Structure 1
Amino acid sequence: MPYSGPPASPVHVPARIAALAEGRDPHPVWQNELGGLTFRIGDSGDSGGRDGDGESLLFAKWAPAGSGLDLAAEAVRLEWAGRFTPVPRVREYGADDAGAWLVTHGLPGESAVAPRWKADPATAVRALGAGLRALHEQLPVADCPFSWSVGDRLNRARAAGIQVSADLLSAAPPADRLVVCHGDPCAPNTLLHEDGTWSAHVDMGALGVADRWADLAVAAWNTGVNYGPGWEDALLDAYGIAPDPHRMDFYRRLWSAT
């Protein structure tokens, strides 16, 4: 099964990432199922954190050529979202024949799936819900140039060669409330302060306007992956909303399909 998480074995540091590190040791902190890698540059903290002063600490994403990972899309979304909410500040984006890279400045906080927070799911899940609500409140729908609508997601999936059912579009429930969604609201993409409150969001490559349940359904679902069963309602409660089984079921099916 494809693996996504902290590297389980040594990884090769691409030449471009090594050059960007300027003599510092790039430490791999994450890999995804498409071959993308994230390296921490300039700090000796643990693999889950973004601790540091935010200026000396950098994170470099690498997407091998042909991986299908669109770091250019993430770069423009970070530049836009950073005007309204805490997200990584872009330092450099580029691409060559070997792949693409995106370098961002570090942020205060530690990943919500760092060991300390996985051992304290009540605190982590509360922060996830509160952080998602803050994101939805802070990003202005009217000014957002990006879409994460059902139709656009299905079109992108088909363009990438993914077979998706035509019935999904017709089965979409009416929007509860349009917001600017994160697009990948899984727990690793939220950072927490030392006191367990929400700090910032990362990995914004799918950000766009959609029904808020497109984020909520997946964020609640993902609590089971990272913290075990029984935390879905706690996340929704921290967000300030009651469960909506119909919309949750639909957006989970859409997530799995696309």
Structure 2
Amino acid sequence: MPQRPFWAGDPRGVDPGAATGAQLPPPARVRILARGAGLVPLWRNEIGGVTFRTDDDRVIKFGPRNAETSFREEAARLRWASAYTSVPRVLELGGDATQEWMVTVALPGLSAVTPRWLADPATAVAAVGAGLRAFHDALPVRLCPFVWDVPARIANAAVRGIRVPDALHHPPPVDRLVVCHGDACCPNTLVGDDGRWTAHVDLGALGVGDRWADIAVAAMSTVWNYGPGWEDALIEAYGVAPDPARLAYYRELWDAT
């Protein structure tokens, strides 16, 4: 879902390298889906969702249902996007009245905020920026059946009981329509041993929108994950000049929704 995941390096969350069963025990459903495979915790999000990697190269996502995105919606987006770029392949999908789960094939690379890349932010930030540009360039807007523009995001917020300030109902003119990731925070880019991006994950909100909706959040997340001073480096790696008005607007919209 579009939010800041609890990754290694986030003081609020789980360090996958140090996590033990006592720190993040796998829920019963995750153990069933693992089918005896070993489990390593990857992250825990703000609504109680968890993700584990198995030792047979699968990723299991499990959590409560929520009104913002669903694993069913994410699976549909992954299946569509997989024709154009590197995203997880869905193996299993399920749920009940209160919970849902999805199993995908694990992809090469490590999250841009695992300890290795937290120790090398220059490489990680460049990979995230270049990866986001490649993502935008690869996915065909005219063929995309999903929307993540401002009206859609405000409508989604209203369904969840969130009132968006009136000023945010009037966005800047669109710079360039792209298929947005929808949660372009740094953790959702995978980086290979060579320091280049390899894939993107967590596409539950993917849809057509202004590219600055993604750029703004990706740049903002460098502060959360690496500390101040990396925002311009990410924008440079993406390949555009900073646009203060669009950056400010889409950051405010992110926070409001």
Length-normalised TM-score, structure 1: 0.90
Q: 1:109: which partner in 2? A: 109
Q: Given that residues 90 and 102 in structure 1 are in contact (C-alpha distance below 8 angstroms), is that contact kept between their aligned partners in structure 2?
A: yes
1:200 aligns with 2:202: no
How many angstroms apart in 1 are the aligned matches of 2:28 and 2:68?
20
Which shows bigger deviation, 72-81 or 58-67?
A: 58-67
Runs of 4+ off more than 6 Å: none
* Identical pairs, percent: 55
**Which amino acid in 2 is paired with 1:22?**
R
Name the aligned partner's letter for residue 243 of structure 1. Answer: P
| Structure 2 residue aligned with 1:63 | 63
Kindly provide the amino acid, as one letter, of the partner of residue 166 in structure 2.
A
Name the counterpart of 2:247: 248
Per the alignment, residue 225 of structure 1 pairs with 224
In the other structure, the counterpart of 1:164 is 164
In structure 1, the partner of 2:46 is 33
1:173 alignment partner in structure 2: 172
Determine the C-alpha separation between the residues in 2 that align with 1:208 and 1:98.
26
- Secondary structure of 2:190's counterpart equals strand
The 5 A counterparts of 1:9-28 are 10-28=23-41
Per the alignment, residue 139 of structure 2 pairs with 139
> Is the 2:164–2:256 Cα contact (8 Å) retained in structure 1?
yes
Paired residue secondary structure (1:230): coil
2:6 equivalent in structure 1: 4
Q: CA deviation at 1:166?
A: 2.7
RMSD, matched Cα: 1.7
3-state SS of the aligned residue for 1:38? strand
1:5 & 1:144 partners in 2: Cα distance?
Answer: 30
Aligned length: 243
Quote how far apart the aligned CAs of 1:15 are: 2.1
Q: Structure 1: any 5+ residue segments left out of the alignment?
A: 43-55
- Relative to 1, partners in 2 of residues 1:211 and 1:67: Cα closer, same or farther, differing over 3 Å? closer
**Structure 2 residue runs without a partner (length 5+):** 15-21
Helix, strand or coil: the match of 1:103?
strand
Aligned equivalent of 2:19: none
Letter in 1 for 2:82: G
State yes or no: 1:84 paired with 2:84.
Answer: yes
- Cα deviations across residues 197-234 of structure 1 (Å, max 9, x unaligned)? 11110000010000000000111111111111111111
8 Å contact from structure 1 (residues 36, 67) kept in 2: no
Give yes or no for contact 1:34–1:68 (8 Å, CA) kept in 2. Answer: no
Read off the aligned partner of 2:246 and give its amino acid letter: R
Q: CA deviation at 1:29?
A: 1.4
1-side partners of 2:117 and 2:228: how far apart? Answer: 15
**Counterpart Cα distance in 2 of 1:226 and 1:111:** 12
